[in-house]
C-alpha cells in the first residue's frame, strides 16, 4: 500500500472507543503485540467496534473514514491483499 493510503488511517487505544467517529468506513483491530486480527467495514464505526468489544480481544483500533459504498470495496481489497501477503485471513475474519 502507498504511504498516502496509510496517512488517512487513524489509530486509538481500545480504552478510547468512545472517541471513534460515528461515520462510515473501514476499521482494523489489533492485539497488544500489534498483530492485525480483524478487518471490517461499518456504516457507523463506533457502534460496530463497540459490538466487537464484547466478543473479540483487541487493544488497538485503526480506522479510515470513507463512504460506505467505498468501504465495502476497500474491505474486500484489503482482505485479498492480506491473504496474498500472509497466506491466511486475519484471525477473526476466518473464525467468525
Domain boundaries, the chain: 3-94
Q: Distance from CA of residue 79 to its chain's centroid?
A: 10
Which of left, alpha, beta for 10 (phi over 0: left; psi -120 to 50: alpha)?
Answer: beta
Question: What was the pLDDT predicted at 16?
Answer: 96
CATH superfamily of 3-94: GIY-YIG endonuclease (3.40.1440.10)
Distance CA 88, CA 47 (A): 27
Q: What percent of the chain is predicted at pLDDT more than 70?
A: 92
* Segments of the chain scoring below 50 in pLDDT: 1-6
pLDDT of residue 96: 66
Report the predicted TM-score, pTM, of the whole model to 2 decimal places. Answer: 0.88
The C-alpha angle with vertex 12 and arms to 47 and 14, in degrees rounded to 5, equals 65
Amino acid at each position: 500500500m502507498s504511504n498516502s493510503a496509510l496517512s488517512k488511517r487513524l489509530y486509538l487505544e481500545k480504552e478510547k472507543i468512545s472517541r471513534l467517529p460515528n461515520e462510515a468506513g473501514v476499521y482494523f483491530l489489533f492485539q497488544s503485540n500489534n498483530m492485525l486480527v480483524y478487518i471490517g467495514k461499518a456504516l457507523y464505526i463506533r457502534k460496530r467496534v463497540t459490538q466487537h468489544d464484547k466478543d473479540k480481544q483487541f487493544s488497538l483500533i485503526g480506522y479510515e473514514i470513507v463512504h460506505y459504498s467505498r468501504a465495502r470495496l476497500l474491505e474486500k481489497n484489503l482482505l485479498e491483499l492480506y491473504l496474498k501477503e500472509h497466506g491466511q485471513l486475519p484471525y477473526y475474519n476466518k473464525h467468525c
